[in-house]
Amino acid sequence: MGQISLVDIVYIYNILYLVKILPKPIAFEWDKGNINKNLKKHNVTDKEAEEVFGNKPLRIFEDIKHSGEEQRFVAYGKTDSKRSLVMVFTLRKEKIRVISARNQSKKERREYEKQIKTNTKV
């Protein structure tokens, strides 16, 4: 048996992390005061934001820098129409609460694509 690479370790961690943090089935909670905020600010519909969580590959990282009163996460993923988005979200009462949804920057898209190419198991 060969050595396990760092890429494999990150992949395994990401899968275990997804299983651990995402509610089953995936459900969403939308703040009524911010219901169209992402549409107005970033031209991302709530439907597109939800699609990201149902599509692969999905990369989720803990957002330690912005986790103050509540734990926050960042997700890189694609909509059904292959639009690459960044999602910032938290979990409340076993539901995903999207804080922000926007297009990936060039740097984020390169990193996301690099992770996909490096690990084709997803």
pLDDT tens figures, 70-120: 888 899 999 999 999 999 998 888 888 999 999 999 999 998 988 888 765
> pLDDT tens digit string along 4-52?
555 555 544 454 555 555 656 678 888 887 778 899 999 999 999 999 9
Give the pLDDT band of residue 3 (cuts 50, 70, 90). low
User: Quick one: how far is CA 120 from the chain centroid?
Assistant: 18
This prediction has a pTM of 0.75
Does the pLDDT at position 55 exceed 80?
Answer: yes
Residues 6+ apart with CB under 8 A from 27: 94, 95, 96
